[in-house]
Chain A
Amino acid sequence: MGIEQFIFYFFALVMVASATMVITVRNPVQAALFLVLTFFSCAIIWMVLEAEFLAIVLVLVYVGAVMVLFLFVVMMLDINIDRMREGFIRYLPFGVLVGLLMAGMLISVVGSVNFGLDKFAEPARHAADYNNTRELGLVLYTKYVYPFEIAAVILLVAIVAAIALTLRRRPTTKYQKPEEQIAVKRDDRIRLVSMNSEKKK
């Protein structure tokens, strides 16, 4: 077994194991952390595929930003695990049945019988000066410029939607208005009063 196979199998194993932990572990924070581990292993597998840009962006975006915000929310929630587990046993047989059925079908279809090296040739290895970022950029801005632009619009809609759903003006909240604070003049705050000093009697 070459080092590449070793890396692949090792991290594939870690990925599957941690993905399983995500759904079985009791504590939601730990589940989120296992998800982080899953992303990491996935990134490494992509790295083995010579997709370095995607691997690093996966870490940057999902691990570095998305999961942090996710943890941020999960930590503040007080989730009652026991209540969520109600009915778990009741649906377990059915769930296991569906799961096994799906897994069986997927293995029979996606396995090496259909996607083995005899069906699809091994992709050519890139030369040492291959630059994944550059190659991606080249197709992204030429061949796939239309999907790329649509993706940008989707992000815009996501921003609009998120703001529309969360922005509410509460009249009771006291807002700071820095521009007003800065614009304050001396005369707005201070009033000099000239008083006659008190006479000693």
Chain B
Amino acid sequence: MFEWVETIFSSLPQGVQTMTFIIMKIVAITLPLMLCVAYLTYAERKVISYMQVRLGPNRVGPKGWLQPIADAVKLMFKEIIIPTGSNKYLFLISPVLAIAPALAAWAVIPFDDGMALADVNAGLLYVLAVMSVGVYGVIIAGWSSNSKYALLGAMRSAAQIVSYEIAMGFALVGVLLAAGSLNLGDIVRAQSGSVVHWFWLPLFPLFIIYFIAGLAETNRAPFDVSEGESEIVAGFHVEYSGMAFAVFFLAEYANMILISALASIMFLGGWLSPLQGILPESVLAVPVLGDVLGSGIHWLLLKTAFILFFFLWMRATFPRYRYDQIMRLGWKVFIPITIVWLLVVGLLVLAEVGPWWNAV
């Protein structure tokens, strides 16, 4: 049925074929991701409303399932207002700058053993670098809006993200030390064995700090001072409307998913099954059951969803931090803890403490 497609495809030059493959892979990652983002907003509203003993969205479609679609359609048809005195190009380019890194980082995420768009050596470093670029969207949006509130939000956000990046970077150095590699696939493979082999246990303080720094990096509650609706209206995106605003929104949620996916890869064993080492080999050989219980992409997705739930839970639970408290927490608490724990991890690796670093 698709033979004619194949014939056309194989007649193309080698370079074009590779390009097409890569683009197809990118689409295969991005489209589901966007869908996840849409339904993450739905999940967020539902989870928080249940925590607050409300019903949440329940009018559009059965149980409100179509709510995200309705929201998207609404935003798409809204006018994008460009404020007077704003820097037009920068104003329009900043949403793109916000979302591009959030998507680009997915290039190195391994979904399953060997299943990554780009299996690069310095994957961890790449992720860190790309995420650090995300802050430009916020800063430029704040500055180009020609609005006091937006600028204040951008300032807060810039300082906050740069500060927490250090703690996050140190937490990742711990992972790199433990796994002995910057390649995300190798990091997951280094955790294989059982749930106890996963790095959340030996790197527990780093795991917690990574998660909290992730909250701060994505400007999520309780670190959402850059939006801070009760103080500075809506912070850096106060002047944005329509799709321009929606792109910021997408970027924030895409970043959340990215941080969660990374956390599951680095601390919760990525695609590895939690039943590994418990189930006998014979169970894994059973056709369908073995696939479900054995390692695979579904475990990565489940773990990501699990951590995403924590993101939402945090938002429902904690009041917003004050700005100076955020700085204090980042610089005076997290960075010292990570440095001390790096030392501990270094010593553990050196002493070949099991079950993580048994001498081979």
Contacts and interface: CB of A to CB of B under 8 A. Distances in A.
Q: Do chains A and B touch in the complex (CB under 8 A)?
A: yes
A29 interface: yes
Interface string B313-343: 0000000000011001000000000000000
Contacts of A53: 122, 125
B132 interface: yes
Interface stretch (A60-68, A114-122, A142-150, A193-201): A60-68
B139 A131 contact: no
B121 A132 contact: yes
Given A53-B125, A133-B122, A72 B158 contact: yes
Contact of B155 (A59, A76, A133, A134): A76
> Which of A3, A30, A53, A68 gathers most chain B CB within 10 Å?
A68
A33 B140 contact: yes
Nearest to A176: B324
A69 B139 contact: no
A52 B126 CA distance: 9
Given A64-B165, A72-B155, A178 B136 contact: no
B300 interface: no
Chain B interface, >50% SS class: helix
A64 B135 contact: yes
A61 to B, nearest CB: 9
> Which of B154, B182, B325 gathers most chain A CB within 10 Å?
B182
> Which of B129, B135, B151, B325 gathers most chain A CB within 10 Å?
B129
A35 interface: no
B159 interface: yes
Interface string B133-147: 101100110010000
A75 interface: yes
B128 interface: yes
Interface in A48-86: 52-53, 56-57, 59-60, 63-65, 68-69, 71-72, 75-76
Interface string A147-190: 00000000000000000000000000000101000000000000
B159 A72 contact: yes
Contact of A68 (B126, B135, B324): B135
Contact of A133 (B90, B125, B162): B125
Given A52-B121, A60-B128, A68-B158, A133 B182 contact: yes
Nearest to A75: B143
B189 to A, nearest CB: 16
B358 to A, nearest CB: 22
A36 interface: yes
Contacts of A30: 90
Contacts of A68: 132, 135-136, 139, 158, 161-162
B120 A52 contact: yes
What's the interface size class on A, roughly?
Answer: 20 to 34
A161 to B, nearest CB: 18
Contacts of B90: 30, 33
Given A68-B139, A72-B155, A72-B158, A56 B126 contact: yes
Nearest to A43: B129
Interface string A14-52: 000000000000000110010010000000000000001
Given A60-B129, A65-B162, A75 B122 contact: no
Contacts of A33: 90, 140
Contacts of A176: 324
Contacts of B126: 56
Given A133-B121, A133-B125, A71 B139 contact: yes
A76 B148 CA distance: 11
A36 B328 CA distance: 29
Nearest to B183: A131
Given A56-B125, A133-B182, A29 B132 contact: no
A30 to B, nearest CB: 8
Interface of B: 15, 90, 120-122, 125-126, 128-130, 132-133, 135-136, 139-140, 143, 151, 154-155, 158-159, 161-162, 165, 182, 324-325, 328
Q: Which 7 residue pairs spanning A and B have beta carbons closest together?
A: A64-B132, A60-B129, A59-B129, A56-B125, A56-B129, A131-B121, A72-B158
12 contacts: A30-B90, A36-B136, A52-B122, A53-B122, A56-B122, A57-B129, A60-B129, A63-B129, A69-B162, A131-B121, A176-B324, A178-B325
